[in-house]
Chains A and B, each alone.
Chain A
Amino acid sequence: NAGVTQTPKFQVLKTGQSMTLQCAQDMNHEYMSWYRQDPGMGLRLIHYSVGAGITDQGEVPNGYNVSRSTTEDFPLRLLSAAPSQTSVYFCASSYSPHRGRGTQYFGPGTRLLVL
């Protein structure tokens, strides 16, 4: 198994540009989520999905959209990039964490710099 994969590894954007961060998993996990990691703020949940076709907001959803058309993929879209979105983004997946099958597996991350 490849586990959780993320592309790209690194991206530079200009303010106002849009882009999509890709995330895929091959473990047939129903639960997927996106976090951002910032110095001094730790990891914060952006959006999550409990299955194909179902998404919901996390702690810091503003400026981001997600969709879940398949079990495997969970892309994160930045609509109009802002310097405040400079961060490292991690995707994670697991079997349903609130049903006790909760080991969450993280991808390698995407480093985003918004100028």
Chain B
Amino acid sequence: KQEVTQIPAALSVPEGENLVLNCSFTDSAIYNLQWFRQDPGKGLTSLLLIQSSQREQTSGRLNASLDKSSGRSTLYIAASQPGDSATYLCAVTGSGNTGKLIFGQGTTLQVKP
């Protein structure tokens, strides 16, 4: 059974710091991995999608990597800002036919001014 783990559960950093969020998964048979952002009381916003054949994706200050063989992904946030404060979720789409996203529990990030 696929399990997704995110470490740490919470992170507090000063503004301007570069930071890395970690995601690991137990079954390497995935179609893709997606990183989301969720603000309190809001829906999920897709940040980056990495296909299983890709190693990384970049969008602005965000860079996500994928190492399928080791079951790991990282989300790198450069020059963090208070507006980056949110919960970050990673999710994998498993190899079955359901299209089901299997989510980690999330990392809650606080960026202090």
Contact = CB atoms under 8 A, between A and B. Distances in A.
Interface stretch (B11-19, B41-49, B67-75): B41-49
A94 B99 contact: yes
Contact of A42 (B32, B34, B103): B103
A106 B43 contact: yes
A43 B102 CA distance: 8
A42 to B, nearest CB: 5
Given A103-B49, A108-B42, A48 B98 contact: yes
B83 interface: no
A15 B17 CA distance: 49
Interface in B8-28: none
Interface in B29-46: 31-32, 34, 36, 42-46
B101 A105 contact: no
Nearest to A33: B99
13 contacts: A33-B99, A45-B98, A48-B99, A58-B98, A59-B100, A92-B44, A97-B31, A97-B32, A98-B96, A102-B93, A103-B34, A103-B49, A108-B43
Contacts of B89: 43
Contacts of B103: 42-43
Interface residues of B, number: 25
Contacts of A43: 89, 91, 101, 103
A107 interface: yes
A96 B99 contact: yes
A101 to B, nearest CB: 9
Contact of B43 (A45, A100, A102, A109): A109
Interface in B57-90: 89
Contacts of A97: 31-32, 93, 99, 101
